[in-house]
Amino acid sequence: GDGIIHSWLNRMLLPDTVGTGGDSHTRFPIGISFPAGSGLVAFAAATGVMPLDMPESVLVRFKGKMQPGITLRDLVHAIPYYAIQKGLLTVEKKGKKNIFSGRILEIEGLDNLTVEQAFELSDASAERSAAGCTIKLPEAAIAEYLQSNITLLRWMISEGYGDARTLERRAQAMEAWLANPVLMEADKDAEYAEVIEIDLSQLNEPVLCAPNDPDDARLLSTVAGDKIDEVFIGSCMTNIGHFRAAGKLLDKVKGGIPTRLWLSPPTKMDAHQLTEEGYYGIYGKAGARMEMPGCSLCMGNQARVA
């Protein structure tokens, strides 16, 4: 009832642990996680272990400096785009090739990421059909994230949220990690099914994914001018910053917008904060349809009947 579990669960993670969950978007930004069916998730919860045939890995190595106008989401989409250019991924369903399918996606070279930003990359590995994803992050970024999460958990306890003992145990476990931080990293001689190198200095325009297929990555210039009928801002791939940015853009629009716009923040906490900051009023003036926080249109289960 608090929103999307993937967005919430990240605030309770311990580095660098192995986790699982009953949905394809169970993709931890720290440590590594493997989505599973409900039976296997229950088995893991009851026993603390899960059987796993270790898959091969595909390494995506970013290098160079990000160019002006390029955002983190462009880096997310650059992964399938560059794979297509190398012949490792095809859009056509017949005889489809997908180097990521069933393998672990390992990402390195983005040392300035926050953990929240890393989740955009790890979460999108579900769309690559990858078995899991792990991202090399600096210790300082993870420590800052845990400090914030400890504060949140203790605030939740003070507000009477959930089971206080469980939340406190998790906060103490985070403090224990901060006292002795250890992060997993790839072996120096690790072997990969494939290595994809992305030079950020060569990525000079945004990368989009065409409707109905997240593998269909295209440069903005190839789709510029195409008519847009509907826009959805939501899912576990979003955070509150995306909604603030959308609000600032919509606030500059005079009159209604020429598309059907849906917005659904990932959590009730984000929805409350956006309301407090006045963004819901901006969305309303623009004619946007607001949906309750949750998986929403990604599952096709929250659209209103006209």
In single-letter form, the type of residue at position 32 comes to I
Say whether pLDDT at 51 is over 60. Answer: yes
Domains belonging to the chain, first-starting first, are 5-137+183-222 (3.40.1060.10), 142-179 (no CATH), 227-298 (3.30.499.10)
The whole-number pLDDT of residue 146 equals 97
Is residue 108 helix, strand or coil? strand
The whole-number pLDDT of residue 225 equals 92
For CA atoms 29, 210, 101, 80, the dihedral sign is negative
pLDDT tens profile 78-111: 999 999 999 999 999 899 999 999 999 999 999 9
Taken as a whole, the chain contains a residue count of 306
If you average pLDDT over every residue of the chain, what do you get? 91
Structure-token match 């989740």, residue found: 119
State mean pLDDT over 216-223.
Answer: 96
Structure-token match 């580095």, residue found: 15
The whole-number pLDDT of residue 207 equals 96
In single-letter form, the type of residue at position 282 comes to I
Asked whether 64 and 109 are in contact (CB, 8 A), the reply is: no
Whole-model pTM: value is 0.89
Residues whose CB is less than 8 angstroms from the CB of residue 22 and which lie 6 or more positions away in sequence, other chains included: 35, 36, 37, 38, 41
pLDDT tens profile 285-302: 999 998 888 777 777 655
